[in-house]
């Protein structure tokens, strides 16, 4: 069961404040506000300059530039220029503020009659600015060389899309092109028919899928939220297919979050309050300016709010997480970094009922530590990382008996090396070694006194893994790029080593067209439960494999718009599956067998087309319209049974739009609609609706024939900035599920639950 807080009155009041902007419509040309004339004995000074975007160096219009605690202020023109005239001599702090970018503060000393010229570089999101930009980047990020289907979002887009209810960077990923997500309560997502089990999620180059979620293990309807704050991330990159395999061990897409460094210009403090949590982000330079530090802490309070507003509610979940990063320049060529992530989540059922298997209390703890050393030369770079991560959980029932517990630990070393071999050839190489321990036990009890315990799942897996890769990039001609490579992996869990090659090609054509094509073999070892669980296949279970083939066309229109079309086909072989393990109705081709074992018995495919129209304009409208058609099917090679994939969503439309209204306000719209996924298992629609108008399902003879109804959700949001001397307050107001559509989600087995209704939400960010 889920509880939702609905502070409608407060949200509507905040919305009224936001819409009553003190800026009006915003100036389109440079405007200078004059202070009283300077004394004749002290000639007045002039401060002028340009404000640009840190990532692209595009000029930013309608930006407020002011001298703190004075009347000197100006608004940048469409070319990013500003001018402050008649400035009295003295010491000032220049503040540069615009919605969607970090607040910039810079101390300046103004001499009599001086004419000072500055270039202020603003960083998108809540990061900190740099004094200069060394390389002018394109509006659209440079993708991984050879990657056919890749999308990158920066700090601004992550924070626009994360949502106020959850404040979750994984919710931002759910709105990206090609991504499917139809459960409002879950942070997980799928793409191209691949679910979370087959998708790699990396944090700074380390696979961290097991530690990045606050959730209740062993319960399908508990929901989840990311264990890391959006405010410490610089960007997220999603590669959907035919990408270079630097990490490996996944059949499907790869998502990587990159954290940012702290500020080197001075101490900064920000506090953020959302619908479910409050957080603090602090950062600053190390002594001597040879490094920086960054720290973040979040604490949820939704459980406290629910207790106060809904005294009859009996389910509560809370979480705490913390992040820290320290970077130190040991020399001009060597940099040392330490990244720490930790979190705890707790679920409590005050009145769980009389069932001996009800969840009364559940706790999960996890974290990640990465110690890195980066070395660079004129033509090479070397990145070494030692890491450790762990996640533990324990669940108890009303009498305090354990109904589930587990521990996952992973410790390893990773190295990546890049070297330019002349002007046209670059080689990447690297590898990793790790030791993984994965233990889990799940129990149920009957109503006897004392109760008798039955083991539902139990495994204790210890594995060593190693892998290495090499990747070559050859600029065959100015308009042609050929990339390719291979990796080799070995593990103590599966016999023999496995090679995974890949090859990509891109060609630039007239009229700005770019054609990309790629293919590759991807492998994934079975999970611990598939190997060593009660239904595990043991030594007879081997690696699963997928052959990706992609081709795409892209064109950039003007400086700020591009379109992409990609065709994909993923052929999967030897997918692990336990035929007969799921309950089914009469007439099923394969009878129900709770003792069925996992075997490499499924062959399947996922194929389709993805289209994206994207625009990026820091002064106007940004966003995308993305449509994907996908079809995934599997066939049991031993029984001949065939069915749709568990994450098969035929039609997906994701829309995101962000418009800067004036210097202190912007509006954001996010819309997702999808034909939805199957009700996993042998469930057929009954044709009868429940009291909420949701469909019902019953056991039937065929797998994945029942589907959830079409998912549709529109969210609208307005951000409003208020400037106070050297501080800034940003208010957020959001309407979630504006159309109040009744969406349905899975809640374990064939149970269907109602998802979020129309919810007004509010939050704020205060920057010191």
pLDDT at 145 over 70: no
Question: How many Å apart are CA 180 and CA 645, to the nearest integer?
Answer: 13
Instruction: Count the neighbouring beta carbons within 10 Å of the beta carbon of residue 304.
Output: 11
Domain annotation for the chain: domains and CATH numbers: 34-122 (2.60.40.1120), 149-767 (2.40.170.20)
Question: How many Å apart are CA 489 and CA 466, to the nearest integer?
Answer: 6
pLDDT for 283 equals 94
Q: Is the entire prediction scored with pTM above 0.75?
A: yes
Element housing 753 (H / E): strand 752-754
pLDDT for 124 equals 80
Instruction: Count the neighbouring beta carbons within 10 Å of the beta carbon of residue 186.
Output: 22
pLDDT for 307 equals 67
pLDDT for 135 equals 36
C-alpha separations of 85 from 31, 33, 67, 110, 112 in Å:
11, 8, 12, 12, 12
Q: Whole-number mean pLDDT of the chain?
A: 88
Which among 622, 443, 514, 424 is positioned nearest to 147, based on CA atoms?
Answer: 514
Question: How many Å apart are CA 372 and CA 387, to the nearest integer?
Answer: 8
Which runs of E-coded beta strand occur in 265-356? 268-273, 277-285, 291-300, 315-329, 334-349
The residues pairing with 207 across neighbouring beta strands, listed in sequence order, are 202
Which among 725, 664, 663 is positioned nearest to 71, based on CA atoms?
Answer: 725
Question: How many Å apart are CA 120 and CA 131, to the nearest integer?
Answer: 7
Question: How many Å apart are CA 503 and CA 687, to the nearest integer?
Answer: 48
Over residues 180-203, the pLDDT tens digits come to 999 998 999 999 999 999 999 999
- More reliable by pLDDT, 149 or 645: 645
Does residue 443 contact residue 456 with C-beta atoms inside 8 Å? yes
Dihedral-angle region of residue 227 (phi above 0 means left; psi in -120 to 50 means alpha; beta otherwise): alpha
Over residues 643-672, the pLDDT tens digits come to 999 999 999 999 999 999 988 899 999 999
Over residues 237-294, the pLDDT tens digits come to 999 989 999 998 999 999 999 999 998 888 999 999 887 889 999 999 998 889 999 9
Which among 370, 369, 361 is positioned nearest to 393, based on CA atoms?
Answer: 361
The residues pairing with 373 across neighbouring beta strands, listed in sequence order, are 336, 384
C-alpha separations of 16 from 218, 226, 387, 497, 659 in Å:
43, 31, 48, 63, 19
Question: How many Å apart are CA 698 and CA 706, to the nearest integer?
Answer: 9
What's phi and psi for 307, nearest 5 deg?
-60, -35
Over residues 365-402, the pLDDT tens digits come to 999 999 999 999 989 999 999 999 999 999 999 889 99
Over residues 697-750, the pLDDT tens digits come to 999 999 999 999 999 999 999 999 999 888 999 999 999 999 999 999 887 655
pLDDT for 484 equals 94
pLDDT band for 144, please (50, 70, 90 cuts). low
Question: How many Å apart are CA 165 and CA 162, to the nearest integer?
Answer: 9
What percent of the chain has pLDDT above 70? 90
């Amino acid at each position: 069961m889920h509880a939702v807080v609905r502070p409608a009155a407060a949200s509507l009041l905040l919305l009224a404040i936001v819409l009553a902007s003190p800026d009006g419509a915003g100036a389109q040309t440079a405007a200078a506000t004059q202070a009283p004339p300077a004394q004749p004995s002290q000639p007045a000074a002039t401060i002028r300059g340009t404000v640009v975007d840190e990532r692209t160096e595009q000029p930013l219009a309608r930006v407020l530039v002011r001298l703190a605690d004075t009347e000197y202020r100006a608004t940048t023109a469409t070319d990013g220029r500003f001018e402050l005239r008649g400035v009295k001599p003295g010491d000032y702090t220049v503040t540069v503020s615009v919605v969607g970018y970090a607040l910039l503060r810079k101390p300046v000393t103004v001499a009599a009659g001086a004419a000072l010229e500055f270039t202020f570089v603003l960083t998108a999101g809540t990061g900190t600015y740099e004094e200069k930009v060394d390389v002018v980047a394109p509006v659209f990020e440079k993708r991984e060389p050879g990657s056919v289907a890749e999308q990158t979002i920066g700090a601004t887009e992550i924070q626009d899309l994360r949502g106020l209810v959850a404040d979750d960077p994984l919710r931002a990923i759910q709105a990206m092109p090609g991504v499917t997500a139809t459960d409002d309560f879950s942070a997980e997502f799928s793409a191209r028919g691949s679910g979370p089990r087959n998708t790699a999620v990396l944090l700074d180059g380390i696979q961290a899928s097991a530690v990045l979620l606050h959730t209740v293990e062993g319960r399908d309807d508990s929901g989840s939220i990311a264990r890391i704050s959006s405010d410490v991330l610089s960007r997220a990159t999603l590669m959907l297919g035919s990408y270079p395999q630097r990490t490996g061990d996944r059949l499907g897409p790869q998502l990587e979050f990159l954290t940012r460094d702290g500020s080197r210009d001075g101490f900064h403090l920000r506090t953020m309050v959302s619908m479910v949590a409050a957080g603090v982000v602090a950062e600053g330079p190390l002594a001597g300016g040879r490094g920086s530090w960054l720290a973040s802490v979040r604490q949820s309070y939704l459980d406290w709010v629910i207790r106060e507003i809904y005294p009859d509610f009996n389910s509560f979940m809370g979480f705490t997480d913390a992040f820290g990063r320290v970077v130190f320049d040991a020399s001009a060529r060597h940099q040392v970094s330490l990244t720490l992530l930790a979190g705890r989540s707790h679920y409590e059922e005050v009145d769980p009922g009389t069932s001996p298997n009800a969840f009364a209390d559940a706790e999960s703890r996890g974290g990640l530590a990465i110690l890195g050393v980066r070395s660079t030369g004129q033509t090479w770079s070397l990145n070494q990382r030692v890491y450790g991560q762990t996640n533990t959980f324990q669940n108890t029932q009303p009498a305090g008996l354990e109904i589930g517990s587990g521990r996952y630990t992973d410790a390893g070393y990773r190295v990546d090396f890049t070297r330019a071999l002349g002007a046209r050839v670059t080689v990447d190489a690297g590898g990793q070694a790790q030791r993984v321990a994965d233990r889990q036990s799940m129990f149920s009890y009957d109503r006897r006194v004392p109760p008798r315990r039955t083991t539902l799942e139990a495994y204790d897996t210890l594995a060593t893994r190693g892998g290495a890769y090499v990747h070559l990039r050859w600029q065959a001609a100015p308009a042609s790029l050929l990339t390719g490579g291979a990796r080799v992996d070995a593990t103590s869990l599966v016999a023999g080593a496995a090679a995974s090659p890949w090859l990509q090609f891109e060609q630039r054509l007239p009229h700005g067209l770019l054609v990309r094509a790629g293919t590759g073999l991807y492998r994934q070892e079975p999970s611990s439960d598939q190997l060593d669980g009660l239904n595990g296949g043991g030594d007879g279970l081997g690696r699963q494999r997928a052959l990706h083939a992609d081709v795409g066309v892209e064109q950039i229109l003007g400086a700020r718009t591009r379109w992409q079309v990609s065709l994909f086909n993923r052929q999967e072989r030897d997918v692990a599956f336990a035929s007969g393990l799921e309950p089914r109705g009469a007439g099923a081709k394969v009878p129900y067998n709770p003792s069925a074992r996992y075997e490499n018995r499924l062959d399947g495919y996922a194929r389709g087309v993805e289209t994206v129209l994207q625009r990026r304009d820091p002064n106007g409208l940004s966003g995308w319209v993305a449509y994907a058609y996908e079809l995934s099917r599997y066939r049991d090679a031993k029984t001949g049974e065939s069915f749709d994939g568990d994450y098969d969503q035929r039609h997906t439309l994701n829309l995101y739009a962000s418009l800067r209204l004036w210097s202190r306000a912007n509006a954001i719209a996010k819309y997702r609609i999808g034909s939805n996924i199957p009700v996993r298992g042998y469930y057929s629609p009954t044709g009868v609706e429940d009291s909420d108008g949701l469909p019902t399902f019953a056991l039937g003879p065929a797998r994945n024939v029942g589907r959830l109804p079409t998912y549709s959700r529109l969210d609208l949001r307005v951000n409003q900035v208020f400037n106070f001397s050297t501080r800034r307050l940003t208010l957020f107001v959001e309407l979630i599920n504006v159309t109040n559509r009744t969406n349905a989600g899975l809640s374990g087995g064939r149970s269907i639950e109602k998802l979020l209704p129309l919810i007004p939400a509010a939050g704020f960010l205060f920057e010191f």
